[in-house]
Amino acid sequence: MNEELKIPNHVGIIMDGNGRWATKRGLMRTAGHKAGADNLKKLCIHIADKGVKYLSVFAFSTENFKREKAEVDFLMNLFFSVINKEFDFFMDNKIRVVFSGRREPLSDKVLKTMDKIMENTKDFDGLTFNICLNYGSVYEIVDTTKKICEMYKAGEIELDDIDPEFIQHNLYQDLPPLDFVIRTSGELRLSNFMLYQASYAEYYFPEVLFPDFNEDEFDKALLVYNHRDRRFGGIHENKNN
Ligand code: IPE
Ligand code: IPE
Ligand code: MG
């Protein structure tokens, strides 16, 4: 059954709806973030088992700093404790963990745990798990442009070296293009998630809130992906369409 399915190489998930999940249950929004983090761990294993090679998740956007300090602080502590607590989980499952985003203004405490997990998992060749934390795609493009200008100024590259692949190699992480982007909770926007990488992705917007987006929901999403006809500017695969 699995063999017959086309498996996207790189999946992106905009994990939205944690707050609403909690509010609906009369809980604090932070309880939704905790439930979302628990769900992500299960989902990560399931997605790796399906044969996906790259998983990018949107954990915290540069814009999320606009939220109340208490919620931001809770999320930062959650990232810190989850990465620490799940250190063995990543090691045992040979998951290569990388982060995308700006380091400023993350605390030293959070940055140190991020660096530690990245360093310890860097040689794994199972799933690459890209956590977008303090991430915004528009600033990623700005930062990449500055980096490339510096290389040019230093005489390390010629103008003609700059092509789409070169830009990809110089984004926060050098990852292949996204094949499939899922945003939970029914919102129909990218909210500054991986614009360059998602230029030819397929999109799926289930109504389900992220803490409820379980393994079965992911399998449903895979079926949706399998019914898409990806043409990349070419012609229909199914000539009857
Ligand atoms: C997504 O859930 C998690 C983060 C943005 C950190 P939200 O917190 O945005 O949940 P809703 O959209 O308010 O329900
Ligand atoms: C996008 O969700 C960011 C993450 C899921 C981390 P938001 O809830 O912040 O996005 P908007 O505000 O609805 O666009
Ligand atoms: Mg939201």
Question: For 89-109, what is each residue's pLDDT tens digit?
Answer: 999 999 999 999 999 999 999
Dist. CA 59 → ligand 2 center (Å) = 9
pLDDT at 193: 98
Paired tokens of 32: 């939704």
pLDDT at 4: 87
Active site residue ranges: 16, 64
Dist. CA 8 → ligand 3 center (Å) = 25
For residue 187, which atom of ligand 1 is closest to its CA?
12
Q: What angle do CA 212, 102, 51 make, to 5 degrees?
A: 45
pLDDT at 237: 66
pLDDT at 241: 47
What is the tens place of the pLDDT at every residue in 211-237? 999 999 999 999 999 999 999 999 876
pLDDT at 102: 98
Average pLDDT for the chain: 96
Give, for ligand 1, the residue of 13, 14, 15, 16 to mutate: max count of ligand atoms closer than 8 Å to Cβ: 16
Q: Are 191 and 15 in contact (CB under 8 A)?
A: no
Dist. CA 64 → ligand 2 center (Å) = 7
What average pLDDT does range 60-74 have in this prediction? Answer: 98
What average pLDDT does range 134-141 have in this prediction? Answer: 98
Dist. CA 23 → ligand 1 center (Å) = 11
What average pLDDT does range 195-221 have in this prediction? Answer: 98
Does the Cβ of 75 fall within 6 Å of ligand 2?
no
Buried b (16+ CB within 10 A) or exposed e, 70-83: eeeebbbebbbebb
For residue 60, which atom of ligand 2 is closest to its CA?
6
- Which residue minimizes the CA distance to atom 14 of ligand 2? 191
What is the C-alpha separation between 236 and 189, in angstroms, rounded?
26
pLDDT at 239 over 90: no
pTM over 0.75: yes
What is the tens place of the pLDDT at every residue in 150-175? 999 999 999 999 999 999 999 999 99
